[in-house]
Amino acid sequence: MPILTITLFLPLLGALVVLFLPREDADRIRRVTLGFALATFVASLLILPRFEYGRREIQLIEQAAWIPAVGIQYKVGVDGLSLVLVLLTTLLTVLSVLYSFREHHRVKEYNLLFLLLETGMLGVFFALDFFLFYVFWELTLVPMYFLIGIWGGPRREYAAIKFFLYTLVGSLAMLLGILLLYFHLPAGQRTFDVLEILRQRPLAGTGLLAQLAFWGFFLSFAIKVPMWPFHTWLPDAHVEAPTAGSVILAAILLKLGTYGFVRFSLPLFPEVFHQHALLVAGLAVVGVIYGALVAMAQTDLKKLVAYSSVNHMGYVMLAVAAAAYAYGRPELADAAATALNGATMEMLAHGIITGALFLVVGVIYDDRTHTRGVEDFGGLWAVLPKYGAVSITAMFASLGLPGLMGFVAEFLIFVGSFSIIPVFTALAALGVVITAAFFLWTIQRIFLGPTNPRWAHLPDLDRREMWTLVPLVVLMVVFGVYPKPLLDIINLTSSQLVAMLR
């Protein structure tokens, strides 16, 4: 059974079904969308029993000729890195669609775009052909552009256009890098096959073409992460996007960039990446500290969470830079693998935790208070005990409290990176202190102290909101206490990548 292809195209099939439903039947559209999102999640779970956990290489490969004249094929597969990100994508899409039952404006188009976006995101993680990868990479851009531009806040058009232009510029730079790899292969052997290009490494070394290709990929992935100083599109997009759009943007779309660095930049250009690793590490450290400090200065709760994403993605890029700097030094292989394990774990932790944080912001803003001002609240925990417990748990997980998922990820990043780039790692550790400070201050202002009389009669979480948030809280705790199942899957790919960097 071609389980990867089924998982990949189920949301697209759902989008086609929604397309032919009458727009007046909003309830049916919502149920059909949720049904296809759930079916996709179940299909992704069915990958697990077929996955061989003792193998490092990419598995379950499905392929077919597409445009053979120029070496383009439909080819998909998974390894430990892509598998966990696929599961994260399908889960958060289900929760986002469930939360979106509250959306009443142009319901048909909204749900259709969500399903189309899911196929694009899954395609990026599955694709083993660069042309196919690029098609899915671009496919993610269009639905999110419309989700922000139509269902966003007052400045939605500006935020949507800024998001589109930034990402498009990066995509064109990556296309240049892909074409350089393709045309540098011997005539008659040219292919877009990712595994074949990784095997041949046509741009090995630090020559001019290798530098151009590396920076083409770098620009695209750095904008998507986003790394400082390419981050300026992110706060606008997050603040203006609808709540479910912010969840997918932070939890999944940002991971496309970090996934690209680990999957492509590290093994394709290890010499060039090693040459510039300290520069990348420096940008990561600036992102960590800058993101935390700017988040502390925010009074808009959604903007605070958005800048915390810049902070946390900086930790991922620190680990990636550390692995690149360890190139050619076998004695640092274990440390590099640990750093990459932490980077992948941080991708998952950030997706789960920040997805929950944007949902709790949406719960209080969309249907209750219509304000996100941190100073507008006070004493909410006494009024909304379930909401307060979920929100505070997510904030504790984000600041790296031991026993929750964020701590495991950051601990692995620091342990692995400190053995390779100790000064940069020590500086990045300051971000943990600042992150703890602004989240604790936020908890104090929103949930503790005297209750603001304006909110004394707010309703607590309803059943739909509980179904949306509780699974994420459970995952934060379970994988914070017992991360071994995830790390067993992730470590296989990290070890394989480090072996390619020796």
Residue type, 452: N
Percent of the chain with pLDDT over 90: 49
Q: What is the mean pLDDT of residues 254-266?
A: 91
pLDDT tens across 205-229, in order? 778 888 999 999 999 999 998 888 8
d(CA 312, CA 124): 22
Q: 502 pLDDT band (50/70/90 cuts)?
A: low
What rounded mean pLDDT belongs to the chain? 90
The pLDDT, as a whole number, for residue 467 is 92
Residues in the chain: 502
Dihedral class, residue 242 (left if φ above 0, else alpha if ψ from -120 to 50, else beta): beta
Neighbouring residues of 365: CB distance < 8 A, sequence distance ≥ 6: 243, 301, 302, 371, 372
Domain ranges in the chain are 269-502
Q: What is the mean pLDDT of residues 394-418?
A: 91
The pLDDT, as a whole number, for residue 136 is 94
Residue 237, CA distances (Å) to 157, 231, 253, 291, 367 in order: 10, 11, 12, 16, 21
The pLDDT, as a whole number, for residue 238 is 84
pLDDT tens across 70-100, in order? 889 999 999 888 999 999 999 999 999 999 8
Q: What is the mean pLDDT of residues 294-303?
A: 88
Q: Which two tokens stand for residue 285?
A: 């450290």
pLDDT tens across 128-162, in order? 999 999 999 999 989 999 999 888 888 888 989 98
pLDDT tens across 321-334, in order? 999 998 888 888 88
The pLDDT, as a whole number, for residue 300 is 85
List the Cα angle 36/254/346 in 5-degree steps. Answer: 100
d(CA 416, CA 357): 28
Q: What is the mean pLDDT of residues 407-425?
A: 92
Q: What SS3 state is found at 373? A: strand
At 67, give phi and psi (nearest 5°). Answer: -130, 75
Buried b (16+ CB within 10 A) or exposed e, 409-436: bbbbbbebbbbbbeebbebbbebbebbb
Percent of the chain with pLDDT over 70: 100
pTM for the structure as a whole: 0.91
The pLDDT, as a whole number, for residue 234 is 86
The pLDDT, as a whole number, for residue 223 is 92
Q: Which two tokens stand for residue 135?
A: 């098609």
The pLDDT, as a whole number, for residue 94 is 94
Secondary structure (H, E, C), 93-106: HHHHHHHHHHCCCC
